[in-house]
Amino acid sequence: MPKGYWVSVYRTISDPEKLAAYNKLARLAVEAGGGRTVVRGGRVVAHDAGIAERTVLVEFDSFEQAVAARESPAYQEALAVLSDGVERDFRIVEGVD
């Protein structure tokens, strides 16, 4: 079964305090949903239309598990705290088996 991944590329961070509060809640939601953070911040080299801002990659055992974790009440709470603190591109993608 292919793994599932959350891919978040932050375009702008307008409120670092909201992001910090989100990070605390999101970490708990990800762990409860069976996710493992593979990339969080760190060095970035962007090409083409890429943006060298914060990038996060979270791995789940399946695509369905990744979708369920995103829809969980715990993650919805994290999103409410984040609100308009960032602009990001968030995707759930299926890995190659």
| Predicted confidence (pLDDT) per residue in 22-77, tens digit | 999 999 999 999 999 999 988 889 899 888 888 999 999 999 999 999 999 999 99
**CB distance 41 to 55 below 8 Å:** yes
Mapped onto helix, strand or coil, the DSSP state of residue 66 is helix
At 50 the pLDDT is 84
Selection from 67, 74, 72 nearest residue 91 by Cα: 67
**CB distance 56 to 8 below 8 Å:** yes
Instruction: Using the predicted structure, report yes or no on whether residue 97 has a pLDDT greater than 90.
Output: no
Query: Strand 36-40 and strand 86-94: pairing?
Result: unpaired
